[in-house]
Structure 1
Amino acid sequence: MKDKEKVSCFSLKPSHFRDLWLLDQKVTFLNHGSFGACPKAVLAVQERLRSQLEQEPLRFFTREWEPLIDEARSKLATFVGADAEDLVFVPNATTGVNSVLRSLVFHPEDEILTTNHEYNACRNALDFIASRTGARVVVAKVPFPLESSQQIFEAILERVSSKTRLALLDHVTSQTGLIFPLQQLVQELQERGVDTLIDGAHAPGMLALNLREINATYYTGNCHKWLCAPKGAAFLYVRRDKQSEIRPLTISHGANSPRTDKSCFQLEFDWMGTDDPTAYMCVPEAIAFLGALLPGGWDELRQRNHQLVLEARKLLCEALEVLPPCPDDTIGSMAVIPMPAALENRNFISVRDELFDRFNIQVQIVPWQETPKLLVRISAQIYNTIEEYEYLGRAIAQLLQR
């Protein structure tokens, strides 16, 4: 790294909120969206729970584990606007998507609808199911750049047919950071007899959720991203009338449990074998911790992050002389900016690695299917400052000079 680049990086004034996380102070971390980051206080709770487990494993799993899981589920249900009876914990949203897809029975005449913005891991799961069952994956082409959310709505509904059995849709797209008009889509699809599986990986903590109002058939979301719980914490929501059909990927003791105080849905998902459940148990602490950082609680936090990402996007678009690719109301706490044409033929991994190796900037570089071929995806969390995005703009300018 050149000396002048070191000065540019280390002269940044960090947010005082940064001290609440373990993040490397030498790195300009603008990629909260990929894996999240867990605050020190939440990690301390997890460490205490792990000690509690290891001090007396048998007592923990036979007496203490279930009340702790139930309490965490109850707090999470309140946060996402659902009944606790309709939620189970899973390690990540990809597991939630796979659990639903592997449980449903598809036939060769069935169509499964998704979009060209769908997360690669979940698209792979769709292709796997199609290869096993003969069902056809239909891809709605949502335009990008985008002029309005109405284009999302129209693009998806145009591909619905009498054979459409299920629609797998993002709530917030990973590649492009778009918020889909979910409630409107779910309602329209239900009226056409199409069930909905929502990949809400980025939504909890970024958006104010009310799963009762959304009324999707299935919804899965991560707690380790914008909710800032430890890694390995996510949830799967299944509408009550569909729960008997959905089984976990691992069949274990719950499959023949004689208990009647809980549904088979929860009994099967809650215990799939011995693992470390402490990430789930920390979800209430994460909700409480982030909700106490600002006077206005979660509402203020979400709005603050949204405003910061809009300001950062405007700054970067002006610095790189490109246009914003979508309206302000279609993004939450993540945004993508088209890379200048001079960089569009670069490999996205090489650009990402050069920004890190030369400038200590951690940011997501996204390859796109059409022009613009390369996007830089920024995230805005409470520990970020506008100066960090200015530094990113200067770094990309230096890449252009080369």
Structure 2
Amino acid sequence: MEHEVGDFRLQASVFQELWSLDPTVTFLNHGSFGACPKAVLAVQQQLRSQLEQEPLRFFGREWEPLLDDARNKLAVFVGADAKDVVSVPNATTGVNSVLRSLTFSADDEILTTNHEYNACRNALDFIACRTGVRIVVAKIPFPIESPQQVLAAVIEQVSPKTRLALLDHVTSQTGLIFPIQQLIKKLQARNIDTLIDGAHALGMIPLNLEEIGATYYTGNCHKWLCAPKGAAFLYVRRDKQSEIRPLTISHGANSPRTDKTRFQLEFDWMGTNDPTAYMCVPEAIAFMGSLLPGGWPELMQRNRQLVLEARQLLCEILSVQPPCPEEMIGSMAVIPMPATLENRDFMSLHDELFDKFGIQVQVMPWQESPRLLVRISAQIYNTRSQYEYLAKVLRELQTT
């Protein structure tokens, strides 16, 4: 495998040409907003031109077949029945759609973790203010030694009042892959529904939603799948679909159609928007899957191997320990900053890396020591030399 990874490094300059990324920037933060290849953007532009040439024809005749085709192909990719999948603009909208649809009382509890994405934690707090539901936080240690610590921390906080668990599949702040299928199984055994924030999972790790067994699952297509911004999905288990409504109630609420479920009719049309990002999902799946001989499995493996190499390199140069086992890493990894950098303000360090050295990488605070984290991403256009440059710069900043 080492030889193959080395070969991919040699090809990275070719892959870089497939994106519109600024060549003067060392871009190591694919995880935040993704990056869409030129070929996929070209398809989106064709669709936008098609829309604007005859808007009434597009929305009256062409829009729904294109949306259904995207849904069908995405459903195959994530291991779900297309009837259980709808499009949303981003995973945060998916989380909000579920939380705002369900009914809670002051006697209920929603379980989450201290690694939950800030936007979704804000959604929980909003629901708590509206309904009185209690938000219970399972404290998962970081650094962490084993996925079993995640299981133990979450299950320990379950009570007879727990109605729902909101859990990340891949955490944003710490880059950890949670043992989500095991968590869901344990929670289901206690009659607790699960809402999984899979914002980073799609295109980073293999997905089979029917096997995972979540009640609700939402994920972004614009990150590791590399679709345009504004493409995401929400999966809802069939027996729960009648309860889940979109944030915007529109024509689907009283549509007389019987060829689709109310769930799809409501989410498919929430008013006029630009649906072309989601319509490009089939092109993104096909394009990214064509880059390496082994398709998507090889791409995921290649990105994971590169980020593990980069993590080891950075940890060695900065004299810090890896904060989690390799089995909890996908194509993002977090490196704790050493004591000499730990007290730096996270935004000032981010801005210095970008403005002075041309490095775009995620820098985040953490609740406990280590209090400063750098999160690196690996996509097919990245090279080992880019991480070597980041390590060199961080090492220099240690001594200044």
Amino acid at match of 1:170: D
Is the CA contact (8 Å cut-off) linking 2:12 and 2:380 kept in structure 1?
Answer: no
- Which of 176, 181, 184 in structure 1 is aligned with 2:182? 184
Q: Which residue of 2 aligns with 1:116?
A: 114
For 1:14 and 1:320, the matched residues in 2 are separated by 26
Q: Which residue of 2 aligns with 1:318?
A: 316
Q: Which residue of 1 aligns with 2:213?
A: 215
Give yes or no for the alignment of 1:50 onto 2:65.
Answer: no
Q: Which residue of 2 aligns with 1:102?
A: 100
1:15, distance to aligned residue in structure 2 (A): 2.5
Q: Which residue of 1 aligns with 2:285?
A: 287
Structure 2: any 5+ residue segments left out of the alignment? 1-9
Q: Which residue of 2 aligns with 1:5?
A: none
Amino acid at match of 1:271: W
What do residues 168-201 of structure 1 show as CA deviations (whole Å, max 9, x unaligned)?
A: 0000000001001011110110010100000000
Classify the secondary structure of the residue corresponding to 2:234. strand
Q: Which residue of 1 aligns with 2:131?
A: 133
- Which of 341, 344, 364 in structure 2 is aligned with 1:343? 341
What do residues 258-299 of structure 1 show as CA deviations (whole Å, max 9, x unaligned)?
A: 000000000000000000000010000000000000000000
Alignment of 1:207-356 (within 5 A): 207-356=205-354
Classify the secondary structure of the residue corresponding to 2:86. strand
- Which of 131, 147, 150 in structure 2 is aligned with 1:149? 147
For 2:314 and 2:251, the matched residues in 1 are separated by 53
Structure 1: any 5+ residue segments left out of the alignment? 1-11
For 1:232 and 1:263, the matched residues in 2 are separated by 23
1:383, distance to aligned residue in structure 2 (A): 0.3
What do residues 85-135 of structure 1 show as CA deviations (whole Å, max 9, x unaligned)?
A: 000000000000000000000010000000000000000000000010000
For 1:185 and 1:260, the matched residues in 2 are separated by 36
For 2:390 and 2:12, the matched residues in 1 are separated by 14
Amino acid at match of 2:294: G
For 2:399 and 2:22, the matched residues in 1 are separated by 28
Amino acid at match of 1:286: A
Classify the secondary structure of the residue corresponding to 1:15. helix
For 1:14 and 1:195, the matched residues in 2 are separated by 43
For 2:11 and 2:287, the matched residues in 1 are separated by 24
What do residues 116-173 of structure 1 show as CA deviations (whole Å, max 9, x unaligned)?
A: 0000000000000001000000000000000000001100000000000000000000
For 2:12 and 2:138, the matched residues in 1 are separated by 42
- Which of 78, 81, 97 in structure 2 is aligned with 1:80? 78
Amino acid at match of 2:161: K
Q: Residues 351 and 250 (structure 1 numbering): CA distance in 2 closer, same or farther, change over 3 Å? A: same
What do residues 193-232 of structure 1 show as CA deviations (whole Å, max 9, x unaligned)?
A: 1000000000000010000000100000000000000000
Q: Which residue of 1 aligns with 2:7?
A: none
Q: Which residue of 1 aligns with 2:3?
A: none
For 2:14 and 2:57, the matched residues in 1 are separated by 41
Q: Which residue of 1 aligns with 2:60?
A: 62
What do residues 230-257 of structure 1 show as CA deviations (whole Å, max 9, x unaligned)?
A: 0000000000000000000000000000
Classify the secondary structure of the residue corresponding to 2:17. helix
Amino acid at match of 2:361: V
Amino acid at match of 1:184: Q
For 2:280 and 2:11, the matched residues in 1 are separated by 31
Classify the secondary structure of the residue corresponding to 1:186. helix
**How much identity, in percent, do the aligned residues show?**
78
Amino acid at match of 2:133: A
What is the TM-score of this pair, normalised by structure 2? 0.97
What do residues 19-58 of structure 1 show as CA deviations (whole Å, max 9, x unaligned)?
A: 0000000000000000000000000000000000000000
Give yes or no for the alignment of 1:28 onto 2:44.
Answer: no
For 1:201 and 1:304, the matched residues in 2 are separated by 20
Is the CA contact (8 Å cut-off) linking 2:342 and 2:372 kept in structure 1?
Answer: yes
Amino acid at match of 1:222: N
What is the TM-score of this pair, normalised by structure 1? 0.97
More displaced 10-residue stretch of structure 1: 392-401 or 360-369: 392-401
1:14, distance to aligned residue in structure 2 (A): 5.8
Classify the secondary structure of the residue corresponding to 1:89. strand
For 1:401 and 1:23, the matched residues in 2 are separated by 31
Amino acid at match of 1:266: Q
Instruction: Give 4+ residue runs of structure 1 displaced > 2 Å after superposition.
Output: 12-15
